[in-house]
């Protein structure tokens, strides 16, 4: 290898390189460490990393430019990102961000002149039950108010290291309000693995089949079918991946599972490893949950020390399996399983063509199972308590329980676990939702239901959800809610395919236009047409679902936009007179002759 042309930087990077080795799959982890050390990725570091990993410089720069938590330009010693989620907005985050910026003489999105601090917005940070929330250099700040921001501004002015900030600022509560079979009685570590070993791999897979377990990450695919497909696929190695990207706004149940039930999740992955003959697993942890990393690493270390991970697990010769935690860096698309695998390989998170599916061609083209955090927790319970026990709960097509992340307009936001089949009304009664007008089930990519539908049930047959349950009371502006979601999709589209890249931008602009009172009924037709194109022609699930909230609003909440339309009758979408406003300003004219009739 050629010596790096920037020896000073190379020397500073040496401990990072030593920690991660030379595998190109470590690129994202190296970039995250460089970001932490330098508060951005200096161009000289890009060159050194490329040399160290034997990659073209453009690949390193391309990856660094893709993830929103990495910055190729200086972003300040303290980088504050305010959560842009709709519930954080409802709790006053836009005003709090403005307050903070005024306090420190900052312009949103720009770094202070002394390079000390910057403030900007970010997609949902997964703290909707304890917002308003933000991140400082990746660490979560909860329950923000002006007093806390005054304190934070003071700490920044005095350049106090974040490790010495008062812990109360970073307090994250579980807020478990209702526990059922998953979150109820604790399962002693190792019990489920022992049960699986006693049964054997074939019989354990049969238990999964009997249980009827379906994936909890959203799509609801049969876990037993996924596992048996992966098991039957030939390859040099089989991989188990736990999807803890949890980027769907309004979802935070995986945060709680990883904080307080990580043993159950690792146990489920280890049982998967036994069934599929895998020796290596990954937990893909969203960057927003970086604060959980040390805790998870220590649980993994304890499991290794007690024979529940590593070589010859529980004394069974040849049963070797270990788990590595891989951090994400602020990209919703990396929750999509093929994009996640690309990211695990150290690349930009760009969704792959499917088929082939990951079960046959996944991590480095080897058979790979990707399951949600909650799915693995269920698998552990099933191994310990049996498939029939699990299948006896829930509904015909949705066995077991579902953990919901409840936020928005209710007295008791938090985590609620119910057997499948529970009605929306029952949930609203439990969490103290009064005078509720609408609920967004499953986050922006899910379903927006109106008060007329509160008799409907959480289940794959009726209202499927990965967990988000966001409540809006009467008086909330549904057009603003949908606008927030339209902005989210436009921001998170990876830009790979045209229907989604252009469609999400156009959708955002039209919804903005409507919210600003300039919409016409032709815009409604345009939105429907765009929605159809995105649903049918996009490359991946993000584009397929990006129009859901808009189309649900058009269908179920006409009152939310009709009052704001400029003209209900058909009218061209383009308002030529408004478009001439800039020209009028430049020429300093505003007389009647400068306007169109
Ligand atoms: C844009 C997008 C984001 C996704 N985000 C997540 C996520 O954060 N967590 C998750 O488990 N699944 C997510 N999924 C679904 C995964 O692609 C995949 O179906 C899931 O991890 C499979 O696990 P399961 O079978 O246990 O549900 C996402 C899908 C799309 C299209
Ligand atoms: S649908 Fe959107 S997110 Fe998916 S590949 Fe296309 S541009 Fe990327």
Of the chain, the percentage scoring pLDDT greater than 90 comes to 91
Burial of 300 (0-12, 13-18, 19+ CB in 10 A): buried
pLDDT of residue 569: 61
- Whose structure tokens read 């990725």? 41
Give the whole-angstrom CA distance, residue 335 versus residue 242: 10
From the alpha carbon of 544, which atom of ligand 1 is closest?
Answer: 31
Tell me the three state secondary structure of residue 92: coil
Of the chain, the percentage scoring pLDDT greater than 70 comes to 96
Q: pLDDT per residue over 304-330, tens digit each?
A: 999 999 999 999 999 999 999 999 999
pLDDT band per the 50, 70, 90 thresholds, residue 85: very high
Ligand nearest to the CA of 252: 1
Long-range contacts of residues 48-56, Cβ cutoff 8 Å, at least 24 apart = 48/4, 48/6, 48/9, 48/10, 48/13, 49/13, 51/1, 51/2, 51/4, 52/1, 52/4, 52/13, 52/17, 52/22, 53/22, 53/23, 53/24, 53/26, 53/27, 54/1, 54/22, 54/24, 55/24, 55/27
Mean pLDDT (whole number) for 205-225: 97
Q: pLDDT per residue over 256-266, tens digit each?
A: 999 999 999 99
* Angle formed by the axes of helices 43-53 and 27-38, nearest 10°: 150
Question: What is the 535 CA–ligand 2 centroid distance (Å)?
Answer: 11
Mean pLDDT score across all residues of the chain: 95
Q: pLDDT per residue over 43-83, tens digit each?
A: 999 999 999 999 999 999 999 999 999 999 998 999 999 99
Q: HSE (CB half, 13 Å, CA atoms) of 90?
A: 23
Where do the structural domains in the chain lie, given as residue ranges? 7-66, 78-173, 178-391, 401-476, 479-562
- The answer to whether 204 and 424 have CB atoms below 8 angstroms apart is no
Nearest-CA residue for atom 10 of ligand 1: 217
Nearest-CA residue for atom 22 of ligand 1: 371
pLDDT of residue 266: 98
DSSP string, 321-376: BEEEEEE--S-GGGGSHHHHHHHHTTS---PPPSSSPTTTS-GGGS-EEEEEHHHH
Give the whole-angstrom CA distance, residue 95 versus residue 144: 11
Q: What is the pTM of this model?
A: 0.94
Question: Candidates 3.30.9.10, 3.10.20.600, 3.30.930.10, 3.30.390.30; correct CATH number of 401-476?
Answer: 3.10.20.600
Give the whole-angstrom CA distance, residue 399 versus residue 212: 6
pLDDT of residue 574: 58
Question: What is the 445 CA–ligand 2 centroid distance (Å)?
Answer: 13
Question: What is the 339 CA–ligand 2 centroid distance (Å)?
Answer: 10
Distance between start and end Cα atoms, the chain: 71
Question: What is the 108 CA–ligand 1 centroid distance (Å)?
Answer: 32
Ligand nearest to the CA of 220: 1
Nearest-CA residue for atom 1 of ligand 2: 543
Ligand 2 near 187 CB (within 6 A)? no
Q: In sequence order, which residues have a C-beta less than 8 Å from that of residue 495 and are 6 or more positions away?
A: 501
- The answer to whether 214 and 446 have CB atoms below 8 angstroms apart is no
Ligand 2 near 543 CB (within 6 A)? yes
pLDDT of residue 186: 85
Instruction: Find the residues whose C-beta lies inside 6 A of ligand 1.
Output: 215-219, 221, 243, 245-248, 332-333, 335-337, 370-372, 375, 540-542
Which residue did the predictor score with more confidence, 10 or 588? Answer: 10
Ligand 2 near 389 CB (within 6 A)? no
pLDDT of residue 239: 98
CA quadruple 211, 212, 216, 217: dihedral positive or negative? positive
Mutate to test the pocket of ligand 1, among 182, 252, 336, 544 (most ligand atoms within 8 A of CB): 336
Looking at the predicted structure, is the pLDDT value of residue 524 above 70?
yes
Nearest-CA residue for atom 28 of ligand 1: 336
Give the whole-angstrom CA distance, residue 294 versus residue 260: 14
Cα angle 292, 413, 445 (rounded to 5 degrees) comes to 75
Ligand 2 near 352 CB (within 6 A)? no
pLDDT of residue 575: 65
- The answer to whether 48 and 12 have CB atoms below 8 angstroms apart is no
Q: pLDDT per residue over 410-451, tens digit each?
A: 999 999 999 999 999 999 999 999 999 999 999 999 999 999
Question: What is the 87 CA–ligand 2 centroid distance (Å)?
Answer: 25
Q: pLDDT per residue over 284-293, tens digit each?
A: 999 999 999 9
What CATH topology corresponds to 479-562?
A: de novo design (two linked rop proteins) (1.20.1440)
Question: Phi and psi (nearest 5°) for 413?
Answer: -70, 155
Mutate to test the pocket of ligand 2, among 501, 505, 508, 535 (most ligand atoms within 8 A of CB): 501
Mutate to test the pocket of ligand 1, among 125, 212, 218 (most ligand atoms within 8 A of CB): 218
Nearest-CA residue for atom 4 of ligand 2: 540
Give the whole-angstrom CA distance, residue 33 versus residue 56: 20
Tokens representing residue 45 in the block: 């570091």
- Report the phi/psi class of residue 400: left, alpha or beta, with left for phi > 0 and alpha for psi in -120 to 50: left
Q: pLDDT per residue over 356-391, tens digit each?
A: 999 999 999 999 999 999 999 999 999 999 999 999
pLDDT of residue 7: 83
pLDDT of residue 185: 87
What is the CATH number assigned to the segment(s) 178-391? Answer: 3.40.50.11540
CATH architecture, domain 78-173: 3-Layer(aba) Sandwich (3.40)
Question: What is the 538 CA–ligand 2 centroid distance (Å)?
Answer: 6
Cis peptide preceding 132, ω within 30 of 0: yes
pLDDT of residue 98: 98
pLDDT of residue 576: 61
Q: pLDDT per residue over 168-195, tens digit each?
A: 999 999 999 999 999 998 899 999 999 9
Question: What is the 233 CA–ligand 2 centroid distance (Å)?
Answer: 27
Ligand 2 near 547 CB (within 6 A)? no
Looking at the predicted structure, is the pLDDT value of residue 586 above 90?
no
Give the whole-angstrom CA distance, residue 372 versus residue 375: 5
Question: What is the 197 CA–ligand 2 centroid distance (Å)?
Answer: 41
* Angle formed by the axes of helices 27-38 and 7-20, nearest 10°: 130
pLDDT band per the 50, 70, 90 thresholds, residue 564: confident
SS (H, E, C) 532-587: HHHHHHCCCHHHHHCCHHHHHHHHHCHHHHHCCCCECCCCCCCCHHHHCHHHHHHH
- The answer to whether 180 and 374 have CB atoms below 8 angstroms apart is no
Looking at the predicted structure, is the pLDDT value of residue 518 above 60?
yes
Which residue did the predictor score with more confidence, 18 or 574? Answer: 18
Tell me the three state secondary structure of residue 471: strand
Q: pLDDT per residue over 127-162, tens digit each?
A: 999 999 999 999 999 999 999 999 999 999 999 999
Ligand 2 near 262 CB (within 6 A)? no
């Amino acid at each position: 290898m050629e010596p790096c042309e920037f020896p000073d930087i190379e020397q500073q990077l040496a401990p990072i390189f030593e920690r991660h080795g030379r595998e190109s799959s470590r690129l994202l982890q190296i970039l995250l460490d460089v970001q932490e050390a330098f508060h951005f990725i200096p161009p000289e570091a890009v060159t050194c990393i490329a040399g160290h990993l034997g990659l073209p410089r453009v690949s390193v720069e391309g990856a660094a430019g893709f993830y929103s938590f990495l910055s190729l330009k200086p972003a300040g010693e303290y980088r504050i990102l305010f959560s842009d989620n709709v519930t954080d907005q409802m709790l006053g985050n836009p005003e709090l961000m403005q307050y903070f910026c005024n306090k420190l003489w900052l312009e949103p999105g720009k770094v202070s002149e002394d390079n000390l601090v910057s403030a900007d917005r970010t997609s949902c940070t997964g703290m909707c039950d304890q917002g308003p929330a933000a991140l400082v250099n990746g660490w979560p700040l909860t329950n923000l108010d002006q007093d806390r921001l005054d304190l934070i501004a003071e700490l920044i002015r005095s350049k106090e290291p974040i490790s010495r900030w008062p812990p109360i600022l970073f307090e994250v509560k579980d807020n478990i309000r209702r526990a059922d079979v998953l979150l109820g009685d604790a399962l002693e570590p190792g019990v489920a693995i022992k049960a699986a070993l006693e049964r054997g791999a074939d019989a354990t897979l049969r238990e999964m089949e009997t249980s009827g377990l379906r994936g909890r990450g959203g799509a609801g695919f049969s876990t037993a079918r996924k596992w048996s497909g992966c098991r039957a696929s030939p390859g040099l190695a089989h991989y188990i991946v736990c999807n803890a990207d949890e980027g769907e706004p309004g979802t935070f149940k995986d945060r709680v599972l990883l904080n307080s039930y990580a043993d159950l999740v690792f146990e489920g992955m280890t049982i998967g490893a036994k069934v599929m003959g895998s020796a290596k697993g990954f937990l893909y942890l969203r960057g927003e949950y970086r604060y959980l990393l040390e805790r998870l690493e220590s649980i993994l270390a304890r499991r290794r020390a007690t024979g529940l991970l590593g070589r010859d697990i529980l004394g069974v010769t040849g049963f070797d399996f270990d788990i590595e935690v891989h951090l994400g860096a602020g990209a919703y698309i990396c929750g999509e399983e093929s994009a996640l695998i690309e990211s695990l390989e150290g690349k930009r998170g760009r969704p792959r063509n499917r088929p082939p599916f990951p079960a046959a061609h996944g991590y480095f083209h080897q058979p790979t199972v990707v399951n949600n955090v909650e799915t693995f927790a269920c698998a552990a319970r099933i191994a310990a308590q049996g498939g029939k026990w699990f299948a006896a709960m829930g509904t015909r097509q949705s066995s077991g329980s579902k953990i919901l992340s409840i936020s928005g307009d209710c007295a008791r936001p938090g985590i609620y676990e119910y057997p499948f089949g529970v009605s929306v009304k029952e949930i609203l009664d439990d969490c103290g939702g009064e005078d509720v007008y609408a609920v967004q089930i499953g986050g922006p990519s899910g379903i927006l239901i109106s008060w007329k539908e509160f008799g409907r049930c959480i289940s794959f047959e009726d209202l499927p959800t990965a967990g988000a349950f966001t409540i809006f009371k009467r008086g909330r502006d549904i057009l603003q809610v949908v606008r927030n979601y339209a902005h989210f999709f436009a921001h998170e589209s990876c830009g790979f395919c045209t229907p989604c890249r252009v469609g999400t931008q156009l959708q955002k602009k039209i919804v903005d236009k409507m919210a600003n009172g300039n919409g016409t009924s032709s815009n409604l037709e345009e939105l429907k047409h765009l929605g159809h194109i995105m649903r049918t022609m996009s490359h991946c699930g993000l584009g397929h679902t990006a129009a859901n909230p808009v189309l649900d609003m058009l269908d179920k909440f006409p009152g939310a936009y009709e009052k704001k339309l400029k003209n209900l009758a058909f009218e061209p979408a383009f308002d030529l007179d408004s478009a001439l406003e800039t020209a009028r300003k430049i020429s300093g004219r505003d007389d009647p002759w400068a306007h169109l009739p």
